[in-house]
Chain A
Amino acid sequence: NAGVTQTPKFRILKIGQSMTLQCTQDMNHNYMYWYRQDPGMGLKLIYYSVGAGITDKGEVPNGYNVSRSTTEDFPLRLELAAPSQTSVYFCASSPGLATTDTQYFGPGTRLTVL
């Protein structure tokens, strides 16, 4: 199993450009998450999904959109990139709400907006 994969690993955007960060998991997990990590800080939840077709906002959703058409994929869309969105983005997944469920993280995407 590859686990959680993210593409691209690095990206530089100009202000106002758009892009989609890809996230795929091959563990058949129901729950998927997007976090951002600003320099020297902990991760903050952007959006999450409890299954295909169901998404909800996290702590910092402004400037982002998500969709979940399949169990495996959970792309994150930036419509009008701003310097404040310079960050490292992590995708994660977990089986569900069982007490032993752990979140599995992807390797991250480093995004710079200039």
Chain B
Amino acid sequence: AQTVTQSQPEMSVQEAETVTLSCTYDTSESDYYLFWYKQPPSRQMILVIRQEAYKQQNATENRFSVNFQKAAKSFSLKISDSQLGDAAMYFCAFREYGNKLVFGAGTILRVKS
């Protein structure tokens, strides 16, 4: 079974600075998808960014980008120019067969003004 590990329970960043959230995963599959979801205090799950494993180019969505290292099975999220609204729990997720998601335990991101 696939596993997803987020080793940072909590991170802090100063407003306007850059922060990187770590994620590693374990799988024997060669083609798969990885996601970062944001969960603010409202509990709503919001898709931040998606990476397809067969694409070597790292995904980017505005201030959010990933560093995907397939051989190392690493998938980190970089948030640039951090804003107060970025404060949330962030989950890394792996999509396995049947479009089922396996989630990591999450990282709480705090943004200081």
Residues on A lying within 8 angstroms of B by beta carbon are 31, 33, 35, 40-45, 48, 50, 56, 58, 88, 90, 92, 94, 96-97, 99, 101-103, 105, 107-108, 110
B84 within 8 A of A: no
A43 touches B50 (CB 8 A): no
Q: Which 7 A-B pairs have the closest CB atoms?
A: A42-B103, A105-B45, A108-B43, A43-B103, A42-B105, A42-B104, A94-B99
What is the CB-to-nearest-CB distance from A78 to chain B, in angstroms, rounded to a whole number?
A: 19
Q: A88-B43, A107-B44 are in contact. Are A101 and B99 (CB under 8 A)?
A: yes
The smallest C-beta distance from B73 to any residue of chain A, in angstroms, reads 17
Interface class of chain A by DSSP: strand
Contacts A99-B52, A102-B50 given; does A43 touch B98 at CB 8 Å: no
A42 to B93, CA, bound (A): 9
Chain B, 90-107, CB within 8 A of any chain A CB? 91, 93, 98-106
B interface vs A, CB < 8 Å?
A: 4, 6, 33, 42-45, 47, 50, 52, 91, 93, 98-106
Docked pose: A6 CA to B45 CA in angstroms: 13
Nearest B residue to A108, CB-CB:
B43
Residue of A nearest to B42 (CB): A107
A43 to chain B: which residues have CB within 8 Å?
Answer: 45, 91, 101, 103
